[in-house]
Amino acid sequence: MELIILLLLAYLIGSIPSALWVGKLFYKTDIRQHGSGNLGGTNTFRVLGKTAGLTVTILDILKGTAAALLPLLPIFDSVSVHPLIPGLLAVVGHMYPVFAHFKGGKAVATSGGVLLAYEWPVFIIVLATFFIALKVTKMVSLSSMIVSVVGFVYSIYFYLRTGDIYLMVMIGLFGAFIFYRHRENIGRIKAGTEPKVKWL
């Protein structure tokens, strides 16, 4: 029963629609009605500005971190579960949030939050990679997909060094989620119509 509660809690944490709640509470705006309609940091930056976008991005990262750290809570002492499993449930919750009619974000920030909790060096690497790629390409979507590939390469190195296959499998899943959620962006990138950021 404790395991079920932990996994359900992880999903519910991931389901918190940061972009929707920040938009409605502080800007009286339903972000789903503007821009791409996506409940993520990128659309928040685009519609509500830098402060809101940064706030939502941080909150989305922390959702993944919090979920991955749930097994460390004393109330779950008797539960034997790999921390990446509740992290995965948080990412699923972010993409398909029960609090927002199962229409959420694209899994990038929350996936990063899981990595921050489990193996912080890879989080630093993918974060640096994201900003470098964004500086070069000016496209958040393409940068996000590049990051997922870099993260997977790191996970292979991590596996060869430690024998921990869980991180490799999980980053592989995160990457699959990210590419799937960006399938429309991929079409726009090919067509040369993908929006580019102007602030970097």
- Rounded to an integer, the average pLDDT of 145-158 is 96
User: What does the alpha-carbon distance between residue 131 and residue 74 come to, in Å, rounded to a whole number?
Assistant: 37
Residues in the chain: 200
Domain assignment of residue 75, yes or no:
yes
- Domain residues for the domain of 133 are 2-191
Domain assignment of residue 197, yes or no:
no
| Domain total of the chain | 1
- Rounded to an integer, the average pLDDT of 124-152 is 95
Collapsing DSSP to helix, strand or coil, 130 comes out as helix
Domain assignment of residue 52, yes or no:
yes
pLDDT at 35 over 90: no
9-23 pLDDT per residue, tens: 999 999 999 999 999
The gap from C-alpha 54 to its chain's centroid, in whole angstroms, comes to 14
Domain assignment of residue 116, yes or no:
yes
pLDDT at 50 over 80: yes
pLDDT at 200 over 70: no
pLDDT at 198: 78
Work out the percent of the chain whose per-residue pLDDT is above 90: 92
What the block records as the tokens of 71 is 């097994």
